[in-house]
Amino acid sequence: MLGLGASYRRSFWLSLLIHGGVLLLALVSLDTTMHHAFTAQKKPQDNVNIVEAVSVNQADVEKQIQAIKHREEQKRQAVLAKQRAAAKAKREREAEIKRQAELKKQRAREAAARKAAAAKAAAEKKRLAELKKKEEARKQAEAEKQRLAAQEKARKAKAAAEAKRKAELAKQQEAERQKQLAEQKRKDELQKQLQAQLEAEQRARAEARARWLNAEVDKYKGMILRSISQRWLIPDRTNPEQTVRLFIRIGPGGIVLDVRLLSSSGDPVLDRSAIAAVYKAAPLPVPEQDEVFDKFRELDLTMRPESVMNS
Amino acid sequence: MKNSYIVQKITAILLLCTASFLTVPVQAAISLELTQGIEAAMPIALIPFNYDGMGQDPSGELMPVIKADLQNSGQFKFIDINDMAKFPHTVAEVNLDYWRRLGVDALVIGRIYSSSPGTYQVDVSLVNAFSGDSRFATQSPLLFSKTFTVSQANLRQLAHHISDLVYENLTGIRGIFSTRIAYILEQRPAGKPPVYKLEVADADGYNPQALLVSNQPIMSPSWSPDGKQIAYVSFEKRRAQIYLVDVVTGRRTLVASYPGINGAPAWSPDGKKLAMVLSKDGHPNIYMLDLDTKKLTQLTRSWSIDTEPSWSPDGKSIVFTSDRGGSPQIYQLDVATRAVKRLTFTGNYNAKPAISADGRQLVMMHREGKQFAVAEQNLTNGRVSTLTRGGYAESPSLAPNGTMVLYATDQDGQGILGMSSTDGRVQLKLPAREGDVREPAWSPFAS
């Protein structure tokens, strides 16, 4: 529907209207028609009597006719009476009506007057009532005002009190909270301190262990070096700047599993002396604890004949 | 999926293990540095050679010579034969672990065969006890293995040669056991005039052979660089003269007979020149004689006594003794520029200089108090160390490998030769001769 142009919409509503109108019209006309038919059926109600054809005696008939004429006369008379009565009634009625009308007028005037008076009274009453009401209202308003004021005051007071109480409470709570916070803080601090202490202790232990480990490593390094040094026969006439580099593999207990030349000094006699020194020093002094010993499984030893201890 | 993941992991681990076994994982190794060792005699074992042949076992002539040579060098100490329980003769028979436990660095082993009397075949091997773990045998422990055929007469010479081989292999320095020494022997037979001999003997003093005999003094023997001639001073004509004598043939050549002093001949390292002391121009000065052209060049001109010239190994300078500074001290002359500089500043008397073959040491006669000794001065830092202990010592002569010094000393009034190692470890005395031994001169390497 959205995409349809305004003209389409207009046509639609128009067609609807037209159809609706036609429909309505049809219904109404139908109804009227029906209504007409209905009323037409109503009118001939008086002439409903069914006439029956029978064989009759003349006398009877004459009787009958006389009866009927009598009746007819009676009827006429009745009718006339009725008409007279009716006319009388009508005149009476009319008079009545007139009287009634007059009465009515009178009454109406009275009523009007009454009404006016009433209205006036009512108005007065109303005015009084209004006034009263106003007064009332004013009083009420006043009272209300006062009441409100009082209420307000009370409310304020209450509020104030409340506020105060609340403030107090809040203060208390605050204090409480602060206290708790402080407490918590203190606890936290304590916790932190403990934690820090714990960590510091752990660190210290770890450091101490590391230091011990290093010390052990250094100690054994020194022992190994001394052990090899004491057995290293430095050949005569070696250049003290020549360097031999050995790779040493050590097994548990310090046994020398393998000694390999990583770099030669260039002098085979010096190289041999270095290798021999390592083998002679076996089993090398190594730590017993696995943790420390593991570091000594492989050694990269540089040997340089800088100085000699005479033995 | 999961299975293949596990398989992958296991494979990776196995590969890693294999790889680490094959390579040398130096990253994981602790680094160490060692800069000190010991200076000590190397313990070695000389296992008696096995003899298979007729006649007397010649090892009695071989083994003691080898042992004495190596022991006297000061570089080796032998384990007692009584401590040995194994006697291998070939490399295959050597149980390295046993010898290591015994504390031996190397073994000299061998066999001798004799197929005909007087001729021997000698197999000798040198085994390194620390060549590698005997279980893994990374390298062969054999340092050398040689076979020689030798006659009875040359057994001693062979022994010296074996000593040279062992020494060189274990120290890296050329051995001097096959070198010789020359010296003056003065004999005074009772009631007879003195006899002077120029003798040449083995380096251990054995087999002395008289090269010259004279009833007039002989002095200052000096070996030519090729070891074939000796220059010396003779007074046979009642005056000093310098002769050259062929060591093999004994033939002599007169090279200097100038007025006055003709003394202290010294060969240049190329063998073409002879430095000497002549006083023909008034004072004892150093001269240089070209042996081909016979041209004489004066090198020092001083009013003092300049004597005892000795060439530096590169032939560019001459060290000599001079008293120009008041007392005898050692000076160095640049042959090309004639510039002279003083070398010794310690002690009150320094004489008879000689520079070692590596040019680092100056060996000399040295006196600090009253006693003469043989000393060595480090030419780099000037430090002087005494090589001889107790007793008088003079006329030092350096071995061609610079490890030993031969000198003249006395024992109970008799002139004998002494030998010291330049590291101070050994002090020996050569067997005394009949008479007084003086002025030793150590031959060069046999060429």
Name which residue leads in pLDDT, B305 or A64: B305
B172 touches chain A (CB under 8 A): yes
| Beta bridge partners of residue B242, listed in sequence order | B233, B256
Report pLDDT for A29.
58
Q: A286 φ, ψ to 5°?
A: -125, 155
Q: What is the mean pLDDT of chain A?
A: 80
The amino acid that residue A69 corresponds to is: K
How many angstroms separate the CA atoms of B64 and B70, rounded?
10
Give chain A positions within 8 Å (CB) of B29: 247, 298-300
- CA angle (B324 as vertex; B318, B326 as ends), nearest 5: 135
Q: Which of A42, A181, A264, A59 is nearest to B139 (CA)?
A: A264
The whole-angstrom separation of Cα B287 and Cα A201 is 86
Which token pair is B142? 């054999």
* pTM, full prediction: 0.69
For residue B423, list chain A residues with Cβ-Cβ distance below 8 A: 236
What are φ and ψ of residue B362, in 5° steps?
-115, 120
Chain A residues in contact with B38 by the CB 8 A cut-off are: 229-234, 308-311
Average pLDDT over residues A155-179: 79
State the nearest Cα–Cα gap between A274 and chain B, in angstroms. Answer: 9
Test B128 with A272 for CB contact under 8 angstroms.
Answer: yes
Looking at the complex, report in whole angstroms how far the Cα of residue A200 sits from the nearest Cα belonging to chain B. Answer: 30
* Rounded Cα gap, residues A146 and A131, in angstroms: 21
HSE (CB half, 13 Å, CA atoms) of B395?
A: 22
A259 and B133 within 8 Å at the Cβ level: the answer is yes
Confidence of residue A43 (pLDDT cuts 50, 70, 90): very low
Residue A54, pLDDT score: 57
Least confident of A64-68, A137-141, A267-271, B419-423: A137-141
Q: Give the gap in angstroms from C-alpha A215 to the nearest C-alpha of chain B.
A: 14
Assembly ipTM: 0.79
Backbone torsion region of residue B127, taken as left when φ is above 0, otherwise alpha when ψ lies between -120 and 50, otherwise beta: beta
Model pLDDT, residue B233 = 97
Q: What is the pLDDT of residue A51?
A: 52
pLDDT of residue B15: 59
> Closest-CA residue in chain B for A232?
B37
Residue A97's H or E segment, with its range, is: helix A58-229
- Predicted local confidence at residue A112, as pLDDT: 78
Tracing tokens 């009949």 back to the chain, one arrives at: B434
- The two structure tokens encoding residue B230: 């000796």
Q: Which residue has the higher pLDDT, B275 or A76?
A: B275
CA distance A187 to chain B (A): 47
Cα dist. B177→A104, A124, A190, B180 in Å? 183, 167, 86, 8
Please give, rounded to a whole number of angstroms, the shortest distance from the CA of B175 to a CA of chain A. Answer: 13
- Amino acid identity, residue A98? K
pLDDT band at A53 (very low <50, low <70, confident <90, very high): low
Contact A279 B34 (CB under 8 A): no
Q: What is the pLDDT of residue B335?
A: 96
Nearest by CB to B75, which of A221, A236, A259? A236
| Single-letter residue type at B235 | F
Is the pLDDT assigned to residue A3 strictly greater than 60?
no
CA–CA gap between residue B11 and residue A182 (Å, rounded): 61
Residue A229 has pLDDT above 70, yes or no: yes
Please state, in angstroms and rounded to a whole number, the distance separating the CA atoms of residues B112 and A90.
194
Q: Do A308 and B39 touch (CB under 8 A)?
A: yes
Rounded to an integer, the average pLDDT of A217-234 is 93
Please, which pLDDT band fits residue A239 given cuts at 50, 70 and 90?
A: confident
With tokens 């060591």, the residue in question is: B247
Q: Which of A237, A245, A286, A308 has the most B C-beta neighbours within 10 Å, making it the best mutation to test the interface with B? A: A237
Q: What is the pLDDT of residue B18?
A: 53
**What DSSP line would sit under B161-197, residue for residue?**
HHHHHHHHHHHSS---TT-EEEEEEEE--TTS--EEE
What is the rounded distance in angstroms from the CA atom of residue B163 to the CA atom of residue B202? Answer: 13
CA distance B21 to B25: 9
- Bridge partners, A25 (sequence order): none
The rounded distance, in Å, linking the Cα atoms of B288 and B270 is 13
Q: How far is CA B148 from the centre of its chain?
A: 24
Amino acid code (one letter) for A116: A
Residues of B in contact with A302 (CB under 8 A): 31-34
Q: What is the pLDDT of residue A232?
A: 93
Measured CA to CA, the distance from residue A102 to residue B371 in angstroms comes to 192
Residue A82, CA distances (Å) to A68, A70, B239 in order: 19, 17, 225
What pLDDT is stored for residue A2 in this prediction?
47
Q: What pLDDT does A55 receive?
A: 60
* Chain A residue with the nearest C-alpha to that of B170: A269
What values do phi and psi take at A306, rounded to 5?
Answer: -75, -40
Give the CA angle between residues B437, B68, A277 to the nearest 5°. Answer: 130
Taking alpha carbons only, the member of B421, B36, B399, B354 closest to residue A238 is B36
Q: Are B72 and B431 in contact (CB under 8 A)?
A: no
Quote the CA–CA distance of A185 and A178 in Å, as a whole number: 10
Nearest CA in chain B to A249: B29
Cis peptide before A285 (omega within 30 of 0): no
pLDDT < 50 positions in chain B:
20-27, 134, 136-137
Distance from CA of A202 to the nearest CA of B (A): 27
* B132 contact A CB<8A: yes
Q: Which residue of A has its CA nearest to B425?
A: A310
